[in-house]
Structure 1
Amino acid sequence: MDRLLTVQEVAERLGTGVRFPRRLIEERRITFVKVGRHVRIPESAVNAFVDAHTVQPVPLRPVALRGAA
């Protein structure tokens, strides 16, 4: 079973305030679990969210040196 995180714990892991994970929940952009009136987010869902929104660097092409004309 995956560890269930509170909204506060998710915010700390993402380095944001609690409004951001709450917005993700409201917009149904992240998986969450309702436990009574409490909301918990599986740790794997946070990792999947970060992986899905990670942008890989683009390798730069070497710039040819231009000679003086």
Structure 2
Amino acid sequence: MAIDASPLALPSEVAAYFRTSEAKLAQDRFRGIGPRYVKHGRRVLYRWADVHAWADANTLQRTDDRPVAS
């Protein structure tokens, strides 16, 4: 399935998008620092819109962690 073909993504798809592991995404969910997600029973899903918004909000230009001015 192509990225963005569905409005919802599995953790494996989001991990591939960010080039990280599903375990790192799970840790981010636990710490409350990653992209917003949807719970359907025990299943975790991400909205691509939330994934892109989180990436945009966490785009940095400097090493002092100040956000990039839009």
TM over 0.5: yes
Aligned: 1:22 with 2:33: no
| 2:15 is the counterpart of 1:11 | yes
Q: Does 1:42 align with 2:47?
A: yes
Aligned residues between the structures? 56
CA distance, structure 2, for counterparts of residue 53 and residue 20 of structure 1: 16
Q: Give the TM-score taking structure 2 as reference length.
A: 0.68
Q: Which runs of 5 or more residues in structure 1 are unaligned? A: 58-69
Post-superposition, which runs of at least 4 consecutive aligned residues in structure 1 deviate over 3 A?
A: none
Could you tell me which runs of 5 or more consecutive residues in structure 2 were left unpaired when the two chains were aligned.
1-5, 63-70
